[in-house]
Amino acid sequence: LDLSAPHIGFVIASYVVSGAAIASLVFVTLAKLRAQERKLADLARLRKQQDLVNDEQ
């Protein structure tokens, strides 16, 4: 890659935009998955606690 070539700014911009968009997509996808896993685990724990309270009653 010749950094002094004409129009090199367009090449760099293409790779920066692509990298940023792909990194954001991966980050958002994984964050959403982690959030759902955590939420489901919390709900399961709550349900278990509620069942225990019901049993005691």
Partner 1 sequence: MQQLANPNRLIAIADRWRPWLWALAGLLFGSGLILALIQSPPDYQQGETVRIMFVHVPAAWMALAAYTFMALAHGTAIVFRHPVADLAAKAAAPAGLCFTFLALITGSLWGKPMWGTWWQWGDARLTSMFILLLLYAGYLAVWQTIEEPRRAARIAAIVALVGFINVPIIKFSVDWWSTLHQPASVLRMDGPAIHVSLLVPLLVMGAAYGALFAALVLANIKSEILARRIRQIQISAASRV
**Binding status of residue 23 toward partner 1 by CB under 8 A:** no
**Binding status of residue 49 toward partner 1 by CB under 8 A:** no
- Output the smallest distance, CB 19 to partner 1, in A: 9
Question: Mind spelling out the 3-state secondary structure of 6-55?
Answer: CCHHHHHHHHHHHHHHHHHHHHHHHHHHHHHHHHHHHHHHHHHHHHHHHH
Question: Quick one: which of 18, 27, 45, 48 contacts partner 1 (CB under 8 A)?
Answer: 18
Question: Quick one: which of 2, 55, 56, 57 contacts partner 1 (CB under 8 A)?
Answer: 2
